[in-house]
């Protein structure tokens, strides 16, 4: 069974309080649950983290050595959770677009105008490429989305038509075509 973040959370709080009952109270779980999580962590790590003397516990040298790493791990988890909340709540993030030059110049700016008003914290980058390069950018994750006027015959990317239009050829009267 792998080590869990919950075990490290219990470990850190027990190190801070030096008291299983207080750690349990702060975590909203029972004292036996705290003891069980610590025992499991010790078994999985193969280290004694606390010396139990009667009803008291004392951290071992190994516990003191592991504490900074556990705190760093839990801070990183907090950072990930905060970033996810920011993305969810404010629509922050980034969007990388690849497009043929004519689409990048004429169609996409109008479409992006509304998008950027709705999601002002999204950083949008638009780069123009030839058809093959648009597909390559998407395939190699250099772009989140690609836009072009052509069928895509690359099984590594998914293509979805988003616009249909007519094309005409304009010629002078009397032209051989």
Answer yes or no: same fold for 5-88 and 91-147: no
For the purposes of burial, counting CB atoms within 10 Å of the CB of 41, is it exposed (0-12), middle (13-18) or buried (19 or more)? buried
Does the structural domain 5-88 have CATH classification 1.10.10.10?
Answer: yes
Write down the domain spans for the chain: 5-88, 91-147
Q: How far apart are CA 176 and CA 50, in angstroms?
A: 93
Which residues in 39-87 belong to E strands, given as ranges? 50-53, 56-59
The pLDDT value given to residue 164: 78
Ranges of the chain whose pLDDT falls below 70: 87, 89-91
Place of tokens 């304009």: 170
What does the block give as tokens for 82? 């905060």
Give the Å distances, CA to CA, from 37 to 61, 68, 74: 19, 19, 16
33-55 residue pLDDT tens: 999 999 999 999 999 999 988 87
CATH of domain 91-147: 3.40.190.10
Whether the model pTM is above 0.75: no
- Ramachandran angles phi, psi of 168, nearest 5°: -130, 155
Quote the longest CA-to-CA distance of the chain.
Answer: 106
The pLDDT value given to residue 152: 83
């Amino acid at each position: 069974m792998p080590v869990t973040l919950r075990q490290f959370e219990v470990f850190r709080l027990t190190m801070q309080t030096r008291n299983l009952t207080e750690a349990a109270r702060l975590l909203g779980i029972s004292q036996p649950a705290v003891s069980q999580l610590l025992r499991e962590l010790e078994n999985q790590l193969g280290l004694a983290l606390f010396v139990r003397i009667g009803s008291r516990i004392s951290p071992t040298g190994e516990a003191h050595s592991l504490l900074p790493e556990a705190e760093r791990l839990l801070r990183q988890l907090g950072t990930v959770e905060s970033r996810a909340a920011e993305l969810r709540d404010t629509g922050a993030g980034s969007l990388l677009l690849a497009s043929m030059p004519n689409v990048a110049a004429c169609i996409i700016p109008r479409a992006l105008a509304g998008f950027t008003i709705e999601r002002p914290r999204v950083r949008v980058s638009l780069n123009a490429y030839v058809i093959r390069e648009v597909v390559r950018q998407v395939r190699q994750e250099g772009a989140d989305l690609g836009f072009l006027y052509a069928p895509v015959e690359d099984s590594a990317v998914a293509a979805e038509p988003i616009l249909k239009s007519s094309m005409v050829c304009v010629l002078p009267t009397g032209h051989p075509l």
